[in-house]
Homo-oligomer: A and B are copies of this chain.
Amino acid sequence: MKVLVLGGDGFCGWPASLHLSARGDEVVIVDNFSRRRIDEELGVQSLTPIRSMVERRAAWREVSGRDITVVELDIAQDYHGLLELLATERPDAIIHFAEQRAAPYSMKSARHKRYTIDNNVNATHNVLCAIVDSGQDIHLVHLGTMGVYGYGTAGMAIPEGYLDIQVPTDGGVVETEILYPTNPGSIYHMTKVLDQTLFAYYAKNDELRITDLHQGIIWGTNTRETSLDERLINRFDYDGDYGTVLNRFLMQSAVGYPLTVHGTGGQTRAFIHIQDMVRCVEIALDNPPTAGDRVKIFNQMTETHRVRDLAQLVAKITGACVEMVPDPRKEAFENDLVVRNDNFLALGLNPITLSEGLLREINETAGRYADRADHSRIPATSLWTRNQQAGIPASIAGTK
């Protein structure tokens, strides 16, 4: 299968590209390298030392004997470049990771909000429009987020995208199926809601074949393939903008920083290990919808946990201390979350659980590169409104 991986230089895109290349797919990475430029903008680097794309490719060729094509292209800006690429490559599938993916970054300032909206919406729409324009039958797999459902307490298990509802009317009860009502918690999450709307339309009007993966929070860093050579190492973000909660706890414990729990830590979230993410992408690729089908939606997550419980778990394993800090986000302090993920389980996903993987992550990644951390970049400081406060531990603020 020939697969374009849009955003193939990123945290999810790179391990997914290698995973597909390893199983024999012909992989073309398309990236504008924006994530590396944002490292420069924020003045903080991946905890793991990631290599240039030139080195990554060369290392992969050496290790696997396989080649990956790399095309530098901004799909949100260069529509004609994208259309030409489809004409040249004629891919069977496109995996679309090419969006700004950090909620805190999307809330930093008006500029960051506007960039995230403009970049993500135009990127997704350009891909859809170009597939129609090309006249090709290309399966589009998109990385969405569990966050489109929102993090209130639903009072039910979150279904995979679609919800059966009943509407009482004067003429009796109307039964129908709808896209699960959205309730995004940041500008970033909202762009994935906008994406979902675009997908529903293009599946209906143009009969595009689209799979949308509503992904939980990734934990872990490396996969089978990125572990084969240090030059293939994946990025590990620990800063307040791009670091995801569990990876941040692992890193904080490794460097002797308090595990910073926002608010009461009563937020319940869905999680998935990065190795399972690449497996899910593979399963999605191999099980496309048929032209004319509605968008196929999978919940790409394997476990749910309350944030304060995760902090306690990491503290117990490592002896780190937990510190409650102000919540820089405007969100429900406490919520329940039950999620259906039957589709991937039925198609053969065999999840890696927190209990088996946590310690290895701490030893192999967070601990190993701890000396590369800039402690001043650990707190989450992007505020959702002027009424929120940065998540700086009192114990650290007090030492300044």
B-contacting residues of A (Cβ < 8 Å)? Answer: 79, 83, 110, 113-114, 117-118, 121-122, 125-126, 129-130, 132-133, 154-157, 163-171, 173-174, 176, 178-179, 181-184, 187, 190, 193-194, 197-198, 201, 204-206, 330, 384-385
Other-chain residue from B169, B181, B204, B385 in contact with A179 (beta carbon distance below 8 A): B181
Are B156 and A167 in contact, CB atoms less than 8 angstroms apart? yes
Other-chain residue from B117, B154, B176 in contact with A121 (beta carbon distance below 8 A): B117
Q: Which residue of B lies closest to A205 (CB)?
A: B330
Are A156 and B169 in contact, CB atoms less than 8 angstroms apart? yes
Are B205 and A385 in contact, CB atoms less than 8 angstroms apart? yes
Residues of B within 8 A of A201 (CB): 184, 187, 190
Are B171 and A156 in contact, CB atoms less than 8 angstroms apart? yes
Residues of B within 8 A of A133 (CB): 110
Are A168 and B166 in contact, CB atoms less than 8 angstroms apart? yes
Are A166 and B167 in contact, CB atoms less than 8 angstroms apart? yes
Q: With A125-B117, A197-B194, A205-B385 known to touch, is A155 a contact of B169 (CB < 8 Å)?
A: yes
Oligomer copy total = 2
Residues of B within 8 A of A181 (CB): 176, 178-179, 181
Are B117 and A122 in contact, CB atoms less than 8 angstroms apart? yes
| A166, chain B: closest CB distance, angstroms | 4
Q: Give CA–CA (A11, B385) in the complex, Å.
A: 37
Are A166 and B165 in contact, CB atoms less than 8 angstroms apart? yes
Are B129 and A110 in contact, CB atoms less than 8 angstroms apart? yes
Q: With A114-B79, A121-B121, A130-B110 known to touch, is A198 a contact of B205 (CB < 8 Å)?
A: no
| A110, chain B: closest CB distance, angstroms | 5
Q: Give CA–CA (A365, B178) in the complex, Å.
A: 44
Other-chain residue from B117, B166, B384, B385 in contact with A166 (beta carbon distance below 8 A): B166
Residues of B within 8 A of A171 (CB): 155-156
Residues of B within 8 A of A205 (CB): 330, 384-385
